[in-house]
Every structure is written in structure tokens, then in C-alpha cells.
């Protein structure tokens, strides 16, 4: 009975489709209800497919471990989910460590996973708790085609000096964001860039511009299925221009237990960026799998059930 409740909740929100990455694309709709069982762990999600997949992974694994679980997916941005965690409407969220840190401390300059995780421990308010972060990340990345990478020996962002001048396709904000045009110059000395603003946050228009050579470099999120489908290369970022955005469970401290932490930490340890790409492709691609189905298959394949 409990598992069917999760599956039904997933089906109800499965029609919501978004093609962009984490923080920049959160819709603002809220669909939280008021019928929560006070004894249940209530797993929330942002309003895009990747977050719903992660929410299902958490919910199904916890239910398999014997916890009473409910789900409230498709909640909107942090301006909705954080208050919901505070008032107990939800008790657990799949989060992104860098964006969560910036939500609470806009001046924090932590960039590496270790530094961001360390800062989060002292930055999240009383009553909240973050568990282990995952190697899996969904963040902005500077991307080129495999053909250009092979021809010019492009491995890291700094190698783009070899192809200056070049065109960069990205959302309009990249012209001013610290990890955008200003950061490319400050961190990597790249100065001869023609900026081509594209409004879809690394979506199909951005990918098409890159594949068609209308731009030579594009800002595309690291879990985009197009990275595999279009044979694209994410350039390494040795100077940590773009802050870490590792998946991390954020929970209301009231639900914490060592057993719960063990379930979620094992998920975090097993999850990779490549897994997220494949999961998103199943849900957002031609298969159109339900998020709950993709989540259950992943948990089974990783041996995280039973």
C-alpha cells in the first residue's frame, strides 16, 4: 500500500516537463497538500524531472528500509521548499550543495565540494541537517563538440585560449555572472569572446547552436542527456570557476536517525553524474518513463534495496 502511494504521486506529477538545470530553472508553482501523516517522512522535490527522480529514489529506498513515507513533488523553488521544511509540510529534499549554500549566504566563496560541504554544516539553520553529498553534480559547464576537442586538444577551460577568438552561447546572465564572462577572464585569462545570448538555459537551442558551429563553446548543465546524445565534451575546470553543485539530502532534524542517514548516504555514495544523465534520458527522452519507474530500476541495479 505504501509503495502504491508513492507511485501514484509520481504519476500525478509526471506530466511536468522541464529541460533546464537546477537553480536557474525552478518554476514557482506549489502543490503541497495538508493531509500529511504526522508519523511519515515526507519527501519533496523541485518542479523539474531530475528533482522528481531523486525524490523518488529517496522515497522508495526509505520505504524499502521500513520507513513510513509520503511524497509531495513539484513544489517549486527554494522560496517554497525551505518554508515547507521549516513548518513540517515536507521533511526531506534532494538538494544541490552549492546553490543551497548560496541561498543562505550569498557572500560565501566556497567552490570545491569539500569547502562547500564544510560551509554548509555551519550555515544551514538550526532544525535542518545535511547528510553526505554525492559525487553526482548538476551544474553549469563549458562544453564543446568532440570534433573540436579532438582537433584542437581541448581538455580544460584554459585550453580555449587555443581557439580565441571564439563564440560562447549561453543564457543572458552569463555575461555578468561571476562564473560567466568575468570569471573566464579572471580565472583563465580568456578575453576574446563573442557572447551569443540564448534564452533556454542550455536546452535544445543552445545545443543546436553548438552542434551547428554557430557557437564554438556553450554553457550546458552537466546532467543534460544531450551530452551523450550529441557527443559533447565537458571541459575540465581545474581552477574551480564554477562552484560545486553536488546532490545532497537536506532534512528536517526531527526525522534524523542513524538508520535513515545510512540509507540516504549509501544512495549518495552510489549516485554519479553519468547516472543522472541516464535517468533524465529515460524520463525526458523518447522512452518517457515514469520517474518512479526509473528510480526503482536504478535502486535495483545498484543493489540498494532489500
Nearest to 168 by CA among 139, 141, 150, 187: 141
- What is the full DSSP assignment across 190-212? ---EEEEE-TTTTSHHHHHHHHT
> What pLDDT does residue 31 have?
36
pLDDT in tens, the chain (306 residues): 233 334 433 333 333 333 233 333 333 233 333 444 568 999 999 999 999 999 999 999 999 999 999 999 999 999 999 999 999 999 999 999 999 999 999 999 999 999 999 999 999 999 999 999 999 999 999 999 999 999 999 999 999 999 999 999 999 999 999 999 999 999 999 999 999 999 999 999 999 999 999 999 999 999 999 999 999 999 999 999 999 999 999 999 999 999 999 999 999 999 999 999 999 999 999 999 999 999 999 999 999 998
> What pLDDT does residue 37 have?
59
- Which residues does 201 contact at the CB level (< 8 Å), separation at least 6? 19, 20, 21, 24, 25, 171, 221
> What pLDDT does residue 39 have?
81
> What pLDDT does residue 125 have?
96
Contact 13, 292 (CB under 8 A): no
H, E, C per residue of 51-75: HHHHHHHHHHHHHHCCCCEEEECCC
Nearest to 32 by CA among 73, 62, 61: 73
Contact 141, 156 (CB under 8 A): no
Nearest to 298 by CA among 262, 270, 264, 263: 270
Pairwise CA distance, residues 274 & 304, whole Å: 18
Query: pTM of the predicted model, to two decimals?
Result: 0.86
> What pLDDT does residue 96 have?
98
Amino acid at each position: 500500500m505504501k509503495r502504491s502511494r508513492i507511485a501514484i504521486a509520481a504519476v500525478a506529477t509526471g506530466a511536468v516537463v522541464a529541460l533546464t538545470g537546477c537553480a536557474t530553472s525552478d518554476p514557482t508553482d506549489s502543490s503541497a497538500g495538508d493531509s500529511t501523516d504526522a508519523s511519515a517522512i515526507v519527501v519533496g522535490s523541485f518542479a523539474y524531472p531530475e528533482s522528481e527522480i531523486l525524490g523518488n529514489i529517496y522515497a522508495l529506498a526509505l520505504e524499502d528500509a521500513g520507513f513510513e513515507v509520503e511524497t509531495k513533488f513539484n513544489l517549486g523553488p527554494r522560496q517554497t521548499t525551505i518554508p515547507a521544511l521549516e513548518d513540517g509540510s515536507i521533511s526531506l529534499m534532494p538538494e544541490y550543495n552549492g546553490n543551497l549554500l548560496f541561498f543562505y549566504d550569498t557572500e560565501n566563496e566556497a567552490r570545491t565540494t569539500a569547502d562547500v560541504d564544510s560551509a554548509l554544516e555551519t550555515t544551514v539553520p538550526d532544525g535542518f541537517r545535511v547528510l553526505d553529498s554525492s559525487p553526482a553534480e548538476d551544474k553549469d559547464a563549458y562544453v564543446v563538440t568532440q570534433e573540436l576537442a579532438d582537433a584542437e586538444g581541448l581538455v580544460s577551460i584554459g585550453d580555449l585560449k587555443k581557439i580565441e577568438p571564439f563564440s560562447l552561447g549561453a543564457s543572458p546572465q552569463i555575461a555578468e555572472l561571476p562564473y560567466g564572462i568575468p570569471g573566464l577572464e579572471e580565472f583563465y585569462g580568456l578575453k576574446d569572446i563573442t557572447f551569443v545570448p540564448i534564452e533556454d538555459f542550455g536546452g535544445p537551442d543552445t545545443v543546436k547552436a553548438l552542434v551547428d558551429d554557430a557557437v564554438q563553446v556553450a554553457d550546458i548543465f552537466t546532467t543534460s542527456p544531450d551530452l551523450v546524445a550529441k557527443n559533447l565534451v565537458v571541459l575540465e575546470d581545474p581552477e574551480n570557476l564554477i562552484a560545486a553543485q553536488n546532490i545532497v539530502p537536506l532534512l528536517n532534524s526531527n526525522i534524523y536517525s542513524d538508520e535513515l542517514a545510512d540509507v540516504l548516504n549509501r544512495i549518495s555514495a552510489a549516485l554519479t553524474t553519468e547516472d543522472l544523465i541516464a535517468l533524465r534520458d529515460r524520463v525526458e527522452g523518447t522512452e518517457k518513463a515514469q520517474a518512479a519507474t526509473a528510480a526503482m530500476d536504478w535502486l535495483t541495479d545498484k543493489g540498494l534495496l532489500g
